Structure 1
Amino acid sequence: MSEVKLATEIRSEFGKGAARRTRRENKVPGVLYGHGSDPIHISLPGHELLLALRTPNVLLSLDVDGTTALAIPKAVQRDAIKGFLVHVDLQLVTRGEKVNVDVPILTEGELAPGAFLVEHVLNALPVEAEATHIPESVTVSIAGLAAGDSILAKDVPLPSGTILGVDGETVVLQVLSAQAEEPAAGEGEGSTASEA
């Protein structure tokens, strides 16, 4: 798991106007919370944070007012149109501490011959892992699967020390036939004739 060091500044101004001023300085307003402490309002360097967040569940080593704090992102708000970072919530963690996170699910291999589709019922798998050893992703083999086959959460290989955070019988992905859908009742010839 990657660890990214970022410098922060304590924020003393709040509200929309203060947040806009922070973003104009190419910084992102954020809140650091956890371990029963009062939330700390901070600003982080925008570009460096954006690059760090490309890694799912990245571990951030933050310089907060002269002390080092470890944190993971819990909520990231982006502008709906332009995609820039608006705000970030960070959870304090310590080495050795267990945290609950969602880990992206990747697939490898080829399905059985024929036209099939893989439906990801879950795009990310909830797991419990040590804060400094969160897997970036988990990989599931779909080699040889055919229509009607599925992979359950208990079938997903997890790194050592990582515990499944959902029921083992939860469907993670399933293989569907790629046949065209049947027309719904009332559609088909009757509707075509009325359009002519």
Structure 2
Amino acid sequence: MAQTELRLNAELRTEFGKGAARRIRRDHKIPAVLYGHGTDPVHLTLPGHDTMLALKHSNAILTLDFDGKEELALAKDVQRDPIKPVIEHVDLVIVKRGEKVTVDVPVHVEGEAGPETNVVVESSTLSVEADVLSIPELFVVSVEGLEAGSQILAKDVELPAGVTLVADEELLVVNVSQQAAEEPEEEAAEGEEAAEGEEAAASEEAAEGDEA
């Protein structure tokens, strides 16, 4: 499924620095910068709640209304607070309708692999080129019934029409391996007892040697 174009009302920002950014966030807004296509960077303030909702999706496409005009933009870098559910800053890149862009699209794994296997996602995103208004929201990869030793490479991921793989075709996306055999509890306990017995015997021999 492709991204949905979302509209946000933005404001030009005239205050800069950490103090200004804190004041903006206290007002439940988000500082941002818009650049690209040879234009000078434009500093903006975005509405907090609406922006949070829009940026739940990776590679969000936003129509920004500000200063009597509008710009189509791609959310390129979203800086989030490591603890609180707060967006600290957004970098936005100007894009044009019909333009192709290179983006990293998340990989979502579904299904259940064969018994006694481990499924490891080696690449959580895939780099692709797509029309700016047709960027996939995610790529679904199925591991249903796959046996140990199976691998899914970038070239194996099904891409929508018009989307081109930029990543290396041989990039390992998902690896299905054999689970490590667990040592039976009784055998493990016997092994521990034997080891403890050997350690005790060695200690006794050392003590006898010292007495001699």
Structures share fold, TM-score greater than 0.5: yes
Aligned length: 186
Counterpart residue identity of residue 6, structure 2: V
Mind listing any 5+ residue stretches in structure 1 that lack a counterpart?
183-187
Q: Who is 1:102 aligned against? A: 104
Q: Who is 1:185 aligned against? A: none
1:53-64 alignment runs, 5 A limit? 53-64=55-66
Question: 1:126 and 1:5 mapped to 2: Cα distance?
Answer: 26
Q: Who is 2:95 aligned against? A: 93
Question: 1:50 and 1:140 mapped to 2: Cα distance?
Answer: 27
Shift of 1:107: 2.1
**C-alpha RMSD over aligned residues:** 1.8
1:39-54 alignment runs, 5 A limit? 39-54=41-56
More helix by share: 2
Question: 1:181 and 1:150 mapped to 2: Cα distance?
Answer: 24
Counterpart residue identity of residue 71, structure 2: A
Provide Cα deviations, 1:2-22, integer angstroms capped at 9, x if missing partner: 111100000111101111111
1:161-176 alignment runs, 5 A limit? 161-176=162-177
Counterpart residue identity of residue 106, structure 1: H
Q: Who is 1:37 aligned against? A: 39
TM-score w.r.t. the length of structure 2 is 0.83
Residues 178 and 27 of structure 1, relative CA distance in 2, 3 Å threshold: same
Question: 2:19 and 2:37 mapped to 1: Cα distance?
Answer: 30
TM-score w.r.t. the length of structure 1 is 0.89
Provide Cα deviations, 1:154-194, integer angstroms capped at 9, x if missing partner: 00000111011111111111102221589xxxxx96xx757
Shift of 1:108: 2.8
Q: Who is 1:152 aligned against? A: 153
Question: 1:109 and 1:120 mapped to 2: Cα distance?
Answer: 13
Q: Who is 1:21 aligned against? A: 23
* Larger radius of gyration between Structure 1 and Structure 2: 2
Q: Who is 1:68 aligned against? A: 70
Shift of 1:79: 1.3
Residues 44 and 120 of structure 1, relative CA distance in 2, 3 Å threshold: same
Question: 2:25 and 2:120 mapped to 1: Cα distance?
Answer: 38
Shift of 1:81: 1.5
Mind listing any 5+ residue stretches in structure 2 that lack a counterpart?
184-190, 200-212
Question: 2:54 and 2:118 mapped to 1: Cα distance?
Answer: 33
Provide Cα deviations, 1:85-139, integer angstroms capped at 9, x if missing partner: 1101011111111111111111233312x12111101111111111111000111
Question: 1:11 and 1:59 mapped to 2: Cα distance?
Answer: 21
Question: 1:127 and 1:50 mapped to 2: Cα distance?
Answer: 25
Provide Cα deviations, 1:31-69, integer angstroms capped at 9, x if missing partner: 001111111000000111111111121111110211111
More strand by share: 1
Counterpart residue identity of residue 174, structure 1: N
